Structure 1
Amino acid sequence: MALNYVGVAAINLVAALLSIPVIAAGIWLSAQVDSACVQILQWPLIGLGVAVLAVGLTGFVAAFWRLPWLLLAYFVGMFLLVAALACLAVFVFVVTAGASSGGHTVPSRAFLEYDIDDFSGSWLRGRVDEPGRWEQIKTCLAATPAVCSDVNQTYATAQDFFSASWLTPLQSGCCKPPTRCGYTFVTPISWISPISAAADPDCGAWSNDPSQLCYSCASCKAALLHNLRREWRLADLILLVATVALLAVYAFACYAFRTAKTDDLFRRYRQGYT
């Protein structure tokens, strides 16, 4: 009998440990420039992960010290948390489905460029396009040196820059004008405008001001959305695996608790009979 309750406690401790990858996924997202500026998914992940940790530890304490009322609270709370994690995993999968998974090649360039039309109608684009939202996001991006300052220090010549296949999506979409605009390279963040630049909204939006660059361009939004989609899908995979594992552990805990209760009742019956 005692071993059964110790087993329930051990299982609940495993459930608490399964919160770690969920919390880690949220912390990883918060460390990514785009996710940190958008601030949508990381806090629900961290919040749910911390809740799973707290409830799992509560279940461990309740089983180890055999507190039935606290165990009942654990089972109810963990059930609700598993359901919430599953709903979040499905939601992230749905809102990241259907958009382009990559950029587009352009002539004489090794890097990729990104098109906002690949995200038409997506929930993510709707959140980014909310009134005043993009102003906050682009201010955050402009204040992050790793976005455009690094690219300016890395590539000294046009040939180096044009052959840079490892240019990140944000560097491609936010730090330079789109290739179709026909700007003349001076430095990675300084370009000479052609006469017809204003004909294309993105071309007209470019500025050599380091605080402006192409942060107002649709290509910058597209690059950010591409990054968000990729990062969210990776976080969703971690979330899905953790949720399935947590569901299995929860089911096993229910079984172990039922067995422990049955053994307890059987022991009491035998004591009463004898």
Structure 2
Amino acid sequence: MARLSHGLLGALNLMTLLLSLPVVCAGVYFRMRAATECERALQLPVIAFGCALLLMFLLVVAVFALTVFTFVVTNRGAGGAVSGRGYQEYRLGDYSGWLQARIAEPETWRRVESCLSEARVCGGRPSDGAVGQDATEFYKRHLSPIQSGCCKPPTRCGFRYVNATFWAAPGSGLSAAAAGDADCRAWSNDMQVLCFECDACKAGVLETVKTKWKAVATVNIALLVLLVVVYTLGCCALRSNGGSRYFKDDGDADKI
């Protein structure tokens, strides 16, 4: 069904393009060949209509390409459930290579990290409600992807909860697996650091971006449907206008 709809949309776009070009060319041709200014002026609506169809074709192609691209780069990645936790955790490697490459750019991540710090997504103030909670209450919280990835160490690291922004390393030290995990080593109780350098933080940002991009893609689909309807009405109007002129000319010929 998806292939059929894409094929129909492609065929409609191609038909509109092929239809708009002759309309524009014919309007320009007759305007140049017109003997009077009045005749030239009468060709302007034809040229404008053809240009509008051509621009709409380009708009549909652009929106369609953007929508397909959005679904392609956001079709991977999802949170993983953690036993006994109300939140999920995210891994950078689960997301598309294109998104990983973009978020890994030093300048891009520097800006993102600055925004996270300024927005105080990890809280730390009494009014945030996290300070003063015990571990059981905290583990039941439904954290956002960014809070889960950036504001606490990954569960696999084995850190012990003290408060929302302070986690103690195990008394016996990190396990061999945790010691070899870059995210476990990157965690800091410094409010300006936390897990902002963790891949889990980047994954949380990508999960948020993915959700918002999919919402935009949904809007794009609605826009495509609207443009297709407008296309169809425009093509029908053009065909109807062409048929009316044909029969009118035929009737004039009979009179002669």
The answer to whether the superposition gives a TM-score over 0.5 is: yes
Matched, 1:254 2:232: no
Matched, 1:85 2:59: no
Deviations 1:171-193 (A, max 9, x none): 11111111122222222112223
Larger-Rg structure: 2
1:72 corresponds to: 50
Q: CA deviation at 1:94?
A: 1.4
Q: CA deviation at 1:271?
A: 5.9
SS in 2 for 1:185: strand
Q: RCO (CA 8 Å, sep 6+): is it higher in 1 or 2?
A: 1
Kindly tell me: are residues 270 and 67 of structure 1, through their superposed partners in 2, closer, same or farther at Cα, counting changes over 3 Å? same
Q: Distance in 1 between matches of 2:139 and 2:66?
A: 40
2:161 corresponds to: 185
Q: Distance in 2 between matches of 1:141 and 1:269?
A: 72
The amino acid that maps onto 2:163 is T
Q: CA deviation at 1:95?
A: 1.5
8 Å Cα contact 2:124/2:164 also seen in 1: no
Mapping for residues 1-274 of structure 1, pairs under 5 Å? 67-97=45-75, 99-100=76-77, 102-119=78-95, 122-145=97-120, 147-149=121-123, 153-155=128-130, 156-157=132-133, 158-164=135-141, 166-194=142-170, 195-196=173-174, 199-264=180-245, 266-267=247-248, 270=251, 273=255
Deviations 1:189-208 (A, max 9, x none): 12223433754311221122
Q: Distance in 2 between matches of 1:77 and 1:192?
A: 60
Q: Distance in 1 between matches of 2:125 and 2:157?
A: 20
Q: Distance in 2 between matches of 1:129 and 1:76?
A: 39
Q: Structure 1 stretches of 5 or more lacking a match?
A: 1-65
8 Å Cα contact 2:99/2:206 also seen in 1: yes
* TM-score of the aligned structures, taking structure 1 as reference length: 0.66
Q: Distance in 2 between matches of 1:223 and 1:151?
A: 22
Q: Distance in 2 between matches of 1:151 and 1:238?
A: 37
Q: CA deviation at 1:212?
A: 1.7
Kindly tell me: are residues 150 and 232 of structure 1, through their superposed partners in 2, closer, same or farther at Cα, counting changes over 3 Å? farther
SS in 1 for 2:143: coil
Deviations 1:150-190 (A, max 9, x none): 897122312211111x2111111111111122222222112
Which moved further from structure 2: 260-269 or 224-233?
A: 260-269
Q: Distance in 2 between matches of 1:187 and 1:150?
A: 9
Deviations 1:115-163 (A, max 9, x none): 12212x5211111112432222222222223x22289712231221111
Kindly tell me: are residues 238 and 136 of structure 1, through their superposed partners in 2, closer, same or farther at Cα, counting changes over 3 Å? same
The amino acid that maps onto 1:159 is T
Q: Percent identity, please.
A: 36
Q: Structure 2 stretches of 5 or more lacking a match?
A: 1-43
Deviations 1:44-66 (A, max 9, x none): xxxxxxxxxxxxxxxxxxxxxx8
Q: Distance in 2 between matches of 1:104 and 1:182?
A: 17
8 Å Cα contact 1:151/1:171 also seen in 2: no
Q: CA deviation at 1:221?
A: 1.0
* TM-score of the aligned structures, taking structure 2 as reference length: 0.70
Kindly tell me: are residues 207 and 149 of structure 1, through their superposed partners in 2, closer, same or farther at Cα, counting changes over 3 Å? same
Q: CA deviation at 1:250?
A: 0.6
8 Å Cα contact 2:149/2:200 also seen in 1: yes
8 Å Cα contact 1:151/1:188 also seen in 2: no
Q: Distance in 2 between matches of 1:214 and 1:151?
A: 18
SS in 2 for 1:212: coil
Q: Distance in 2 between matches of 1:83 and 1:107?
A: 45
Q: Distance in 2 between matches of 1:168 and 1:219?
A: 13
